[in-house]
A and B are shown apart, each in its own frame.
Chain A
Amino acid sequence: MKSKVRDVGDVRVLDLEGKITIGAGDIELRQNIEDSVAAGRKNILLNLKGVSHIDSSGIGEMVGCFTTVARKGGRMKLLNLTQKINDILQVTQLITVFDVYDNEAEALSSFKS
């Protein structure tokens, strides 16, 4: 998995690309989130536009990151789900857990509410 970090106002945007899968992308995702929270960036937007695969370990890490950020008083939201990633969140019913956006400006604004 490749990731690019951007700070837009008080929101940290992680542009992710590739696979979030066991032994590779899952650990990188966790590290990215831990680094963000440690840096005081607790409002996090995961841009999944370039993500081709998320296996159960990747989904598990996303859930773990979501709860970690929430415990620290922050919020983690999702942006630009591909159809396949959306399908995975639907079947796992995690679509009911995450705030999901397909427009970055709207996603960023949502952190102000």
Chain B
Amino acid sequence: MQLLSAYENIELAERMLAELCGSASIDEETTYWVGMALREALSNAIKHGNKLNPEKRVQVHMKLHPEGELKIAVEDEGDGFDPTRLGDPTSPDNLLRSNGRGIFYMRQFMDGVSFFAGERGGTRVELVKRLRTRREG
């Protein structure tokens, strides 16, 4: 899926993710938190990566793997960034900051969060969630 750099498109991507999760009988709780992680990845791509440039796109790939993993990749067309320079938003010095929690959110809600240089010079973030279906409880 390819999205224009507009926040409204986050809703569209989240709905598509919810449909994918529904088709695989993934429970509502997991669907909610994975959706929140996707929101953060897209927000970062649109705001910090593409800087809301309407000529730049965000690529989104979502795939359910038979071994029981949901993998999501979000790639922007920005200038890239260094994820090692992130502060801890729960440290006392940062607790009252109004930004800097997006990647923290992703790491809380997913089992794996990895950053790579994108093919167009931007950033690709890959999110992994290990799944239990409703049938497994």
Contacts and interface: CB of A to CB of B under 8 A. Distances in A.
B107 to A, nearest CB: 10
A21 B10 contact: yes
Contacts of A64: 98
A93 B95 contact: yes
Contact of B47 (A22, A67, A94): A22
A61 B98 contact: yes
Nearest to A60: B98
A92 B89 contact: yes
Which of the listed residues A56, A61, A92, A94 has the most CB atoms from chain B within 10 Å of its own CB? A56
Contacts of B90: 92-93
Interface string B7-20: 11010000000000
B43 A22 contact: yes
Contacts of A63: 96-98
A56 B108 contact: no
Interface string B87-117: 0011000011111011011001000000000
A55 B40 contact: yes
A97 B47 CA distance: 27
The dominant DSSP class at the B interface is helix
Contacts of B40: 55-56
A53 interface: yes
A107 to B, nearest CB: 21
A23 interface: yes
A38 to B, nearest CB: 19
B111 to A, nearest CB: 15
Interface in A13-56: 21-24, 53, 55-56
A91 interface: yes
A91 B40 CA distance: 15
A8 to B, nearest CB: 27
Interface of A: 21-24, 53, 55-57, 59-61, 63-64, 66-67, 84, 91-94, 96-97
Interface of B: 7-8, 10, 32, 36, 39-40, 43, 47, 89-90, 95-99, 101-102, 104-105, 108
6 contacts: A22-B7, A23-B8, A53-B36, A55-B39, A55-B43, A97-B95
